[in-house]
Structure 1
Amino acid sequence: MVAVAVLGTGALALAGAAPRTDDHVASVLVNSSCAAVAGLLTAWVLCWWKNRRVRPRAADFALVPSLRSPVAVFGWTAGPFMALMMIDTAYSALVHPAPQDTMRALSDAQGPQLITLAVLAICIAPVAEELVCRGVLYQALRARWRPAVAAPVSAVVFALPHQDDLKTMPMLITAGVVLCVVVERTGSLVPAIALHSVLNAPAIMAQDGLLGGALLAVMLAACAFLLTKSRRAVPEHASGEQPA
């Protein structure tokens, strides 16, 4: 988390140093950078407070190994991605929601600004948002309510900061619920982070396919590394077998 916070701060600095060729792009860059850093700090402070001022651990954010097989984890990432893409395509064709601020900024950004936005959208925002919405909020709601109640509530909280047009709310809430389902079914936040990153990638690839593809590959490789490393660290009895 500290590393991502540093990256977010660096992105903010780069956004400030980038040429102000477009006020809207600069505003989105600064706001997104601040939101990412604020989200990470909020997640840490909430867990710290919940743990009675004890330093949070990775498990407090559901950053734990998935006990499912790699094939199952892949399925619970790729399947929801394809489903959400199809639903979004059909919904957009019927309702024609206005593009979000970030999407508008992407079409205008160039050079350092485009790179900064891409890093924020694919690498930093998915981590920050998942830590807050699924790592902290959903886990807290899940402890009190059933998933059928906790998931929609956390999804609404997730959707509110994103919406620039009320027509986008249904898709944002749907994505939030699906991300909760991924966490619930895999038992880990890492697949949800990977899915979130993949969902953000097409907008970047539409502007710069090479940049978007490279950043997405880095993010997915990092998630795969975390899952592999976590699975190796799990003791044999963690999968349900009792120690001798």
Structure 2
Amino acid sequence: MNLLALSQGEFGHTILQDIALICVIGTLIAGLIHGWLRKASPNLQWHKIGNVSTEALGSADILGCLLVSLPFSLSLISPYQDPSDNDLSSILLIANFAILSLMAGIVLAIFQKRGLLPDALGLHPKHPMQVISWSIAAYIFFFILSIAMSQLGLEEWLSSRLGEQQRQQIVNEMMATQENQKRLIMILGACVIAPIAEEIVFRGYLYPVVKRYTEPVIAAIFTGVIFGAIHGQIWAVIPLSLFGILLAVLYEKSGSIWACILCHAMFNTINVFFMLTMGDQL
């Protein structure tokens, strides 16, 4: 492939595919190494560290993860498509959010079938206020981290290598559309549906399955980087990957998926607020 002949968008898409591939291969190797280490040293129980249980998960869940993460990964697996060629109609937006909800529903059904709900996801936390406080603290920490990365010149560094920063198509649509119905769908999808569906799939299922066959740090890095990559913006992959890793830590600390959902929802809602109020000033 001649990278010099690619457009800016195609080049970024190729880098994201490479990042995802490296992450998958690295995790597979880590899984093999950790499997060998555990067999050689039965007392090693790294995957049991933290508040996220892996006891009821098995090899069949690897296929389950491939299934429920497929819609999220299509942007990486599929060939690059110029966003200007695609029209995000209200029907298409509803269909996309419905598919995300379906994948989260499949995860809930898997846990329910095994009699693991609500314990598997910590849906009934013993200390709800603690869950809320941890969520707010995690968001504040990431907000400060984002400011620090900006002050250190991360955006300028990326732009000097990748060209002028581009926004996600749905962001451009939200800022440009004059259709109240479409805007409402995007707001509800971004602030409610996406945080719930993505957290149930990535932190609620993908993270503990990877943790089961490796250990928490590798699982957090893998799910975090994949989470950053599937959003399809090379300029945002570093902060979003760090955010994904932070959400995995939050899940382990709180033991409840509600903490991740709340933190994710705060992140998206505040971003949407600034998009709609400040627009092109961002």
The TM-score, its normalising length taken from structure 2, stands at 0.56
How far 1:31 sits from its partner (Å)? 5.3
How far 1:123 sits from its partner (Å)? 1.0
Q: Residues 206-243 of structure 1, C-alpha deviation per residue, up to 9 Å, x if partnerless?
A: 2557xxxxxxxxxxxxxxxxxxxxxxxxxxxxxxxxxx
- Residue type of the alignment partner of 1:79: A
Instruction: State whether structure 2 residue 143 is matched by structure 1 residue 82.
Output: no
Among 195, 198, 210, the alignment partner of 1:129 is 198
Range 79-88 or range 119-128, more displaced: 79-88
Instruction: State whether structure 2 residue 193 is matched by structure 1 residue 193.
Output: no
Give the equivalent residue in structure 1 for 2:103.
42
Instruction: State whether structure 2 residue 117 is matched by structure 1 residue 58.
Output: yes
How far 1:27 sits from its partner (Å)? 1.4
How far 1:152 sits from its partner (Å)? 0.8
Identify which of structures 1 and 2 has the higher relative contact order when contacts are C-alpha pairs closer than 8 Å and 6+ apart: 2
CA contact (8 A) 1:151 1:180 kept: yes
| Corresponding residue SS for 1:58 | coil
How far 1:205 sits from its partner (Å)? 1.6
Give the equivalent residue in structure 1 for 2:52.
none
Q: Residues 21-46 of structure 1, C-alpha deviation per residue, up to 9 Å, x if partnerless?
A: xx889517555543432233234445
Counterparts of 1:19-38 in structure 2 under 5 Å? 26-27=87-88, 32-38=93-99
Aligned residues: 183
Structure 2, unaligned runs of 5 or more: 1-83, 156-164, 278-282
* Cα gap change, 1:115 to 1:46, in 2 (>3 Å): closer
How far 1:54 sits from its partner (Å)? 3.2
Give the equivalent residue in structure 1 for 2:248.
180
Range 190-199 or range 110-119, more displaced: 110-119
Counterparts of 1:135-214 in structure 2 under 5 Å? 135-164=204-233, 166-208=234-276
Give the equivalent residue in structure 2 for 1:99.
167
Give the equivalent residue in structure 2 for 1:114.
183
- Residue type of the alignment partner of 2:101: L
- Residue type of the alignment partner of 1:105: E
The TM-score, its normalising length taken from structure 1, stands at 0.64
How far 1:121 sits from its partner (Å)? 0.7
Structure 1, unaligned runs of 5 or more: 1-22, 210-244
Distance 1:84 1:144 in 2: 28
- Residue type of the alignment partner of 2:267: L
Distance 1:188 1:109 in 2: 36
- Residue type of the alignment partner of 1:87: L
| Corresponding residue SS for 2:166 | coil
> After the TM superposition, which parts of structure 1 deviate over 6 Å for at least 4 consecutive aligned residues?
none
Name the Cα RMSD after superposition: 2.9
- Residue type of the alignment partner of 2:262: A
CA contact (8 A) 1:179 1:192 kept: yes
Range 136-145 or range 191-200, more displaced: 136-145
CA contact (8 A) 2:107 2:200 kept: no
CA contact (8 A) 1:123 1:197 kept: yes
Distance 2:229 2:89 in 1: 16
| Corresponding residue SS for 2:118 | helix
Q: Residues 39-87 of structure 1, C-alpha deviation per residue, up to 9 Å, x if partnerless?
A: 3323444565x66x937753375143223462x3233111111121222
